[in-house]
Structure 1
């Protein structure tokens, strides 16, 4: 029973704090501040987790994890490189491609695009591109004709529709490797894909066989080989290892060069928001110091009586640690509940706000997604709640220690 006495007294002091309206208000403010900080931090971490998930599953599902590009001449025997890749357990699949860059005319000027010639049979092993376009558009890429599939953003910028004709201009280097004129290539828009982000405005897809005939590359050859790996963060090393194993001079590329800035931006925002909101929780927790300092002064006579009755100084300290800890526990519990509720419904809530107020939170032609994602992870909730509880308990140490320094005789004499 002796061990429970400080906790019982601390609980009674906590419930009786409403007798002093000012102390009660500060106590409420500290609890509300902790709850708000915990809820927002859980929400922000869940949003950052959602962006990471979409980056890996959506964008990196289409963007090459790694690429081996020809330099002086096409890859006439890309199959041998693919066979070498099969011996590397970290590589999931490979696919050849032919790439060409050019300009297309749009209202008010020109738009640069990158034309990718692909073979759907191989591409579906390394890419989720087929998930973002109709089946008819995907099947059209298997035909060795001038079908082209554009991103939704590019299609809208050009003012075209499916079935229209598109002209693409490329430099003519046929005369002694000197630029003499621009060559025009005509394509039929066979479909459109909806992925979001910059890729929609810059990437287009055609049949690899047809693009080989346009560039006068022997059929069966490629200008590059893309690889997909089981761990995207190992892509630079794996691409380098595969490239160094080849005798042909190759240019090596990986997703961290083209899209790595997105991942770095997500990590930077996560770190900054974590620090800012951790400071918000810390400020709210240190309001507990004010609450307990005033509570100690308000209960000084009661503390003196308890000490004259034989209550140990450690027990007195435990009383006020209990009282302040309850503020932190209540704030963390409420904040965690609100944060989990908001995080699990973040996408639906954001969509409701967009429809209600007629605004767009994420523009698809700027960001790689056009919706607000969320992925709640248990370890984030545990980390945030633990941090809030530790901060709140740490804030109780000084006022609880000062309570043990009360001189019973002086406190009772003043009463």
Structure 2
């Protein structure tokens, strides 16, 4: 009589047996509860990781868009001599491929005052055409207009600054340079009244509360600059993270000694803190998945102990140790795989509807969640990164698989004789 062939690994019999073990009967209900909590833990852990990473990605993207939308990707500063040739330098840089704008600017601190209040500001002189090309400003005018900006003695100020000074478009403010008394021309040339031509808002308090835009020629006169500018702001097309590839072309196009500072260096402390927070959140939320994986371990160990006699019978009728191990591997991995897939689905659904969810929660709680004044966000963003999402799924699946190894190995090592004798 020929021996019947051994079933192949992960055969239908092993899958059937794993499914029966997962569908615990009434007397094994506690094991089923542990498996259910493991499933929920992995689902919630994966979903939370995906949502948090997406929100932080969206938060970073919106902040970067606002920062480079106002300050530019690269700052070209003069070396050895002032930027008196700024018109030619800006023209050469603006002709480079993927350069959207090269805007000469004059920057300087000042004190802005009105009849009601006074506060420190950053004055930026810029040409009217360049200011209109900055969508962060020109598309967010709340009061007044930028028409004729170069021809008048008007200024554009942020909304929060207007609120601090209690002024509106059409009112007057006075700018006082901090070192006006130290100049030979006297303080009178450094104290000037200006009409508020426009009030803008970009929903970022650092800019809305300090920025004052002057026409470039007026700023040169106000800061006693002969015919030079402070720097040239270069705005690029494409991803801000690819700014390094533009450093050499911009330096060559300048055709004079310059020092280049990119947006990352100008905001290094802020984005370094954001990256640290992001990494810490990832590690903390990974613990949720780890705890759920440990629940799989405890649940499988209890299942192995409960099914000891079944394992012994299977071993005596010819089931190999590998088959027993695979049965429990399938049972544990099924919890992890299903939990991960459910978490992926929940996370993606929340990310796609996160602003609607925020508005609903704000309505339910009657509070403003993530107010723009505190979080610089006009809406709650979520930017799903395919690579990060795949890493989260792979991490959850790996932890789930590793959690099944020890209980499965322990099931395979059970001695059927001892189990039947003493079990």
Distance in 2 between residues matched to 1:366 and 1:247, nearest whole Å: 43
TM-score normalised by the chain length of structure 2: 0.87
SS of corresponding position for 1:57: helix
1:194 and 2:162 matched = no
1:57-72 superposed matches below 5 A? 57-70=65-78
Partner of residue 4, structure 2? none
SS of corresponding position for 2:112: strand
Distance in 1 between residues matched to 2:141 and 2:383, nearest whole Å: 25
- When residues 189 and 323 of structure 1 are mapped into structure 2, their CA distance, relative to the original with a 3 A threshold, is same
1:269 aligned to 274, 277, 280, which one? 277
Q: 1:21 offset after TM fit, Å?
A: 2.2
Distance in 2 between residues matched to 1:109 and 1:258, nearest whole Å: 30
Partner of residue 318, structure 2? 310
Partner of residue 18, structure 2? 10
SS of corresponding position for 2:177: strand
SS of corresponding position for 1:311: coil
Using the TM superposition, name which of 131-140 and 279-288 deviates more.
Answer: 131-140
Partner of residue 228, structure 1? 235
Cα offsets for 1:133-186 (capped at 9, x unmatched)? 259523242x32111111111111111122111111113547666986893211
Distance in 1 between residues matched to 2:327 and 2:115, nearest whole Å: 74
CA contact (8 A) 2:70 2:137 kept: yes
Partner of residue 157, structure 2? 150
Distance in 2 between residues matched to 1:178 and 1:254, nearest whole Å: 36
2:48 aligned to 32, 35, 40, which one? 40
Distance in 2 between residues matched to 1:90 and 1:159, nearest whole Å: 41
Q: 1:336 offset after TM fit, Å?
A: 1.6
CA contact (8 A) 1:153 1:365 kept: no
2:217 aligned to 209, 223, 248, which one? 209
Distance in 2 between residues matched to 1:178 and 1:19, nearest whole Å: 95
Q: 1:127 offset after TM fit, Å?
A: 5.7
Distance in 2 between residues matched to 1:228 and 1:85, nearest whole Å: 10
CA contact (8 A) 1:140 1:190 kept: no
Cα offsets for 1:230-278 (capped at 9, x unmatched)? 4534546855874587676656443224323332233222211111111
TM-score normalised by the chain length of structure 1: 0.88
1:265-304 superposed matches below 5 A? 265-304=273-312
Cα offsets for 1:351-396 (capped at 9, x unmatched)? 3333443434434344432432112233333322222111111100
SS of corresponding position for 2:121: strand
Partner of residue 107, structure 2? 99
CA contact (8 A) 2:114 2:172 kept: no
SS of corresponding position for 2:327: helix
Q: 1:58 offset after TM fit, Å?
A: 2.7
Partner of residue 373, structure 1? 381
Cα offsets for 1:84-111 (capped at 9, x unmatched)? 4257546443111222320123799631
CA contact (8 A) 1:34 1:332 kept: yes
Q: 1:65 offset after TM fit, Å?
A: 1.7
- When residues 205 and 312 of structure 1 are mapped into structure 2, their CA distance, relative to the original with a 3 A threshold, is same
> Gapped runs of 5+ residues in structure 1?
none
SS of corresponding position for 2:120: strand
- When residues 271 and 111 of structure 1 are mapped into structure 2, their CA distance, relative to the original with a 3 A threshold, is same
Distance in 2 between residues matched to 1:29 and 1:106, nearest whole Å: 62
Number of aligned pairs? 413
Partner of residue 410, structure 2? 402
CA contact (8 A) 1:70 1:250 kept: yes
Partner of residue 28, structure 1? 36
CA contact (8 A) 1:66 1:254 kept: yes
1:413 and 2:421 matched = yes
> Gapped runs of 5+ residues in structure 2?
1-6
2:173 aligned to 145, 160, 166, which one? 166
